[in-house]
């Protein structure tokens, strides 16, 4: 029996947090985008772009996709919804069996709102092109290929920007996450 998406995300975030990685997580500080993930001792001395430590933080703000679903008359894949509402984190570099990738994440409630705006644009584009609706969640080392969840089936696909999902890489998001190695 497959693990739940929650267990897969918890394992992924635990791996990120673990001392076994040998280094702390760092990102460029962006004062315009505050996040509970930043581990900031003193923000007064920080400048935009300074490298700062961060940790994943469980969300408790009640973020959900219900308004987006109502507005677009769509029900989003449940694993996809959990992927973006369980943790605040910065994007995660990883290696999939198919190659390197970067998992998109949200760092705050404001960033979650920005994700929804981008997702609306993506879904409307798919509808205009009369293609199956997909939900993006990751980038690859090829700027023309993104990782998406096919909303109708839950399958994870590599999708050429503006085209149908071409290559199925996992039966579902949980299976995809379980096969990753965090860089």
The CATH architecture assigned to 5-182 reads 3-Layer(aba) Sandwich (3.40)
pLDDT above 70 as % of the chain: 93
- Decide which of 56 and 21 is more confident: 56
Dihedral (C-alpha) 73, 78, 79, 81: value to the nearest 10 degrees?
60
Q: In this predicted model, what pLDDT tens digit does every residue of 39-50 receive, in sequence order? A: 877 667 788 999
Are 13 and 6 in contact by the 8 Å Cβ rule? The answer is no
Mean pLDDT of 143-152: 94
- For residue 106, pLDDT over 60 is answered with yes
Kindly list the domain boundaries of the chain, sorted by start residue.
5-182
Q: In this predicted model, what pLDDT tens digit does every residue of 60-92 receive, in sequence order? A: 989 999 999 999 999 999 999 999 999 999 999
The CA distances from residue 73 to 13, 51, 66, 67, in Å, are 32, 41, 10, 10
pLDDT of amino acid 20: 46
pLDDT confidence band for 96 (50 / 70 / 90) = very high
- For residue 1, pLDDT over 70 is answered with no
Q: Which of 21, 49, 51, 52 is nearest to 37 (CA)?
A: 52
pLDDT above 90 as % of the chain: 73
The total number of residues shown for the chain amounts to: 183
pLDDT of amino acid 43: 65
- For residue 164, pLDDT over 90 is answered with no
Tally Cβ neighbours within 10 Å of residue 86. Answer: 18
Mean pLDDT for the chain?
A: 91
């Amino acid at each position: 029996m497959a693990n739940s998406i929650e267990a897969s995300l918890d394992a992924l975030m635990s791996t990120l947090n673990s001392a076994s990685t040998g280094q702390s997580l760092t990102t460029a500080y962006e004062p315009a985008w505050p996040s509970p993930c930043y581990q900031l001792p003193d923000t007064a001395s920080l400048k935009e772009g300074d490298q700062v430590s961060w940790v994943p933080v469980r969300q408790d703000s009640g973020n959900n996709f219900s308004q987006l679903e109502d507005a677009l008359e769509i029900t989003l894949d449940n694993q996809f919804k959990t992927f973006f509402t369980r943790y605040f984190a910065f994007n995660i570099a990883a290696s999939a069996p198919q190659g390197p990738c970067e998992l998109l994440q949200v760092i705050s409630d404001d960033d979650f709102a920005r994700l929804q705006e981008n997702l609306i644009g993506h879904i409307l584009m798919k509808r205009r092109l009369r293609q199956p609706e997909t939900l993006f969640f990751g980038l690859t080392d090829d700027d023309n290929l993104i990782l998406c969840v096919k909303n109708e089936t839950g399958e994870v696909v590599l999708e050429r920007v503006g085209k149908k999902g071409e290559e199925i890489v996992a039966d579902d998001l949980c299976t995809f996450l379980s096969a990753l190695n965090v860089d």
